[in-house]
Amino acid sequence: MYLVTYLPFYRIHEVETYFMRNVEVMKPRAAIVYVDNVYHEKQREILARVLSGNVEVRFGNWRNRNNTWIAMLRDFHTLGGEVMVVDSDNRVTEDLPRIHSELRGYPIYAILDEEAWRREPQRFLIRSRKIGELNINGNTKPLYVYKVYDGSISGLFRSGRGPTFFIGTKQAIALMRLPEPEILNKVERALDSVNAWLRGFISDETLLGVIAHLMGIEEVPWTVANHHIYHGSTPGGMPELLKAAAHYQFAKGLVREFGRPEFRRYQFRYALSMIRNVSSIIRF
């Protein structure tokens, strides 16, 4: 198994702070770090000086998490093995190697952090169903599956169910099967049709939910096995109108590329959201 993380240049300290410890726990075949916002030779020199020689560093100037994910997924086709991607501000638990051996039969599975599980479990349970339990080193862990596409009528009008497409929890995600290059090419064109300043308002959980759906995956297994040490470098929350505009443009691009009714539903939902939230940026 390959262990991967990704992060913007200004957070490279998280490689030594968290990721190298994850490498010790998971003992992967190789460890790879993707660094975004790298566009100058001096940045490359800094990366060579400060990052451990035990990791392979790949960099680009993708300028958002979603374009970074597209680049990573393309690269993963060349690795020839299972890949686990862990968010850079996370520490996996000692149980995760055993959990991986139990769940590697699925094409994709995901890991939730213990902090979110204690704080807001309903956020994930509303679109999940329990399918069993894992007995790991004498401890019992629940095993759920998350529905990646919500095509319900209530989902069009209620924000509490999350975006139309969503991979669920994604502090760590393991990929035993990869999307075909044609899927990546079309999704990338749809993503690139979104205004560059808006792409950051689309979560990578949504991008991965779209890709999983296109791979024919309806539900993604998940359990709890890591700790999220939130980096705190950006403010929480985002303007709903800008988020809706970003999703609307992405959905419109997906309709153009795939012509599927579920993407038209996705587009319609965020057209409604833009109408509802237009007043949020008007000050009288």
pLDDT tens digit sequence for 100-155: 999 999 999 999 999 999 999 998 999 999 999 999 988 899 999 999 999 887 66
Q: What is the predicted pLDDT for the residue at 239?
A: 85
DSSP state of 88: T
**Residue 133 burial by Cβ neighbours in a 10 Å radius (0-12, 13-18, 19+):** exposed
**Residue 152: per-residue pLDDT:** 82
Which pLDDT score is estimated for 284?
42
What is the DSSP secondary structure assignment for residue 223, as one 8-state letter?
E
* Cα distance between residue 59 and residue 37, in whole Å: 8
Residue 224: what residue type?
Answer: V
User: For residue 157, what pLDDT is reported?
Assistant: 63
**pTM reported for the whole predicted model:** 0.94
| One-letter identity of residue 4 | V
* The CATH number of domain 2-279 is 2.40.30: no
Contact residues for 147 (Cβ-Cβ < 8 A; gap 6+): 127, 128, 129, 218, 219
CA dist 156 and 142 (Å) reads 29
Distance CA 258, CA 262 (A): 10
Rounded Cα gap, residues 251 and 175, in angstroms: 24
Task: Give kind and range of the element (H or E) at residue 184.
Answer: helix 181-192
- Residue 15 carries which DSSP code? I
Q: What is the pLDDT of residue 138?
A: 87
CA distances from 175 to 84, 110, 113, 132, 237 (A): 6, 9, 18, 21, 29
For residue 197, give every residue at least 6 positions away whose Cβ sits within 8 Å of its Cβ, in sequence order, or none.
none
pLDDT at 153: 73
Q: Which backbone phi and psi does 198 adopt, to 5 degrees? A: -100, -15
Angle value at C-alpha 233, between 117 and 95, nearest 5 degrees: 35
CA gap 207, 74 in Å, rounded: 14
Positions of the chain with pLDDT under 50: 284
β-partners of residue 31 are 3
As separate numbers, helices (DSSP H) first and strands (DSSP E) second, the chain gives: 12, 10
Residue 77 CB partners (closer than 8 Å, separation 6+): 178, 181
Contacts of 29 (CB under 8 A, 6+ apart): 1, 2, 81
